[in-house]
């Protein structure tokens, strides 16, 4: 899940340029737990983990794996509250990362996958589709400066058709290529004046 940290820069339109595939996200530290043994199909409210890590929730007695609803914590302060299946995060859950970030949404085999909301500690909020921990599909991304992007993402980037709404009331509707305006589009001022534009790799031509 971890990605290299990305340096944010302001574009000419005031939006954050995402220089790399993803905004920096923290590494999830796994909570390797010892097995429990008790003569019931499900074990509830048990804390039986090593090295300061803990798990409280449901287990499958036959496999000894976390299965059902549960809460995991590790020494770094990271916490997951949600569903498990066969020992991994699967279904709906909330992850509170050690650095202050938060993800709330669907998981599949320990990966953010499906619809989810990721909130960075600096106030950026992504609300939309994920595939294997990567922002992919239709989504909205809101920035602390009041800007908002609504459109398509691919491989973590704004890519394809999308609209960028600016805090001053203006907006740009058009095509994006790996976070840069690329192709034909329309800029609409806050007064409603429409101007056709053509862009190539983030530069107006």
Tokens of residue 196, six digits: 């056709």
On whether the 34-121 domain is CATH 2.20.110, my answer is yes
Among 22-26, 33-37, 109-113, 172-176, whose mean pLDDT is lowest? 33-37
Q: What pLDDT score was predicted for residue 43?
A: 44
Query: Residue 150: pLDDT above 60?
Result: yes
Does the pLDDT of residue 114 top 50, yes or no?
yes
Q: Please give the model's pTM, rounded to 2 decimal places.
A: 0.77
Helix (H) / strand (E) containing 171: strand 171-177
When mean pLDDT is compared across 32-36, 74-78, 178-182, the lowest value belongs to: 32-36
CATH of 131-205, one of 1.10.10.370, 2.20.110.10, 3.40.718.10, 1.10.540.10: 2.20.110.10
pLDDT of residue 54: 85
- How crowded is residue 75: how many other Cβ atoms within 10 Å of its Cβ? 12
Calculate mean pLDDT across residues 106-129. 97
Determine the pLDDT at residue 20: 36
Q: Are strands 203-204 and 8-10 parallel, antiparallel or unpaired?
A: unpaired
Q: Return the pLDDT at 159.
A: 97
Please name the residues in contact with 53: beta carbons below 8 A apart, sequence gap of 6 or more.
31, 32, 33, 72, 73, 74, 75
Q: How far apart are CA 25 and CA 5, in angstroms?
A: 8
- Distance between first and last Cα of the chain: 37
């Amino acid at each position: 899940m971890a990605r290299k940290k990305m340096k944010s820069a302001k574009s000419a339109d005031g939006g954050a340029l995402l220089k790399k595939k993803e905004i920096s996200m923290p590494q999830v530290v796994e909570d390797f737990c010892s097995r429990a043994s008790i003569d019931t199909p499900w074990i509830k409210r048990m804390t039986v983990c090593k090295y300061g890590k803990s798990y409280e929730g449901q287990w499958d007695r036959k496999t000894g794996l976390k299965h059902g609803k549960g809460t995991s914590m590790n020494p770094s302060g990271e916490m997951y509250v949600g569903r498990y299946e066969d020992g991994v995060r699967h279904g709906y859950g909330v992850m509170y990362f050690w650095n202050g970030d938060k993800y709330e949404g669907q998981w599949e085999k320990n990966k953010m996958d499906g619809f989810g909301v990721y909130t960075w500690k600096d106030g950026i909020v992504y609300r939309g589709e994920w595939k294997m921990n990567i922002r992919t599909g239709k989504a909205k991304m809101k920035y602390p400066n009041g800007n908002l992007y609504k459109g398509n993402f691919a491989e973590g980037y704004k890519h394809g058709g999308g609209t960028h709404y600016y805090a001053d009331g203006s907006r740009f509707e058009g095509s994006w290529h790996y976070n840069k305006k690329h192709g034909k589009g329309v800029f609409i001022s806050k007064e409603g004046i429409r101007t056709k534009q053509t862009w190539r790799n983030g530069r107006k031509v």
